[in-house]
């Protein structure tokens, strides 16, 4: 299985801003029947899962479009006189 590491770089002082934005974006989670804010690790895990899901969707869309074009290109004209 291939592995692709992606590095995201931002200034050292922006870490808290990034984590706050991720926590706000991914929202709270249900924990033993109570809604609570995500931990930093949970927010980062949600971001990681979101990136992977986006990549899957991009690949599937590309393959659907490529298959549809190939099927369309394979259609031959019918000569009717």
Would you place residue 29 in the very low, low, confident or very high pLDDT band (cuts 50, 70, 90)? very high
Q: How far apart are CA 46 and CA 42, in angstroms?
A: 6
Is the pLDDT confidence value at 76 over 90? no
Tokens of residue 13, six digits: 């002082």
Mean pLDDT within 17-22: 96
Q: Quick check: 73 pLDDT over 90? A: no
- ∠ at Cα 70 (66, 71), nearest 5°? 120
Q: Yes or no: say if 33 and 9 are a contact pair by the CB < 8 Å rule.
A: no
Q: Indicate whether 53 pLDDT > 90.
A: yes
d(CA 26, CA 11): 22
Q: What are the φ/ψ torsions at residue 79 (nearest 5 degrees)?
A: -90, 115
Output the pTM of the full model. 0.76
């Amino acid at each position: 299985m291939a592995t692709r590491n992606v590095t995201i770089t931002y200034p050292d002082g922006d870490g808290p801003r990034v984590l706050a934005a991720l926590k706000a974006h991914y929202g709270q989670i249900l924990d033993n029947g109570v809604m609570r804010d995500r931990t930093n690790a949970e927010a980062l895990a949600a971001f990681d899962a979101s990136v992977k899901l986006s990549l899957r969707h991009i690949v599937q869309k590309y393959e659907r479009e490529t298959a549809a074009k190939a099927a369309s290109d394979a259609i031959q004209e019918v000569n009717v006189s």
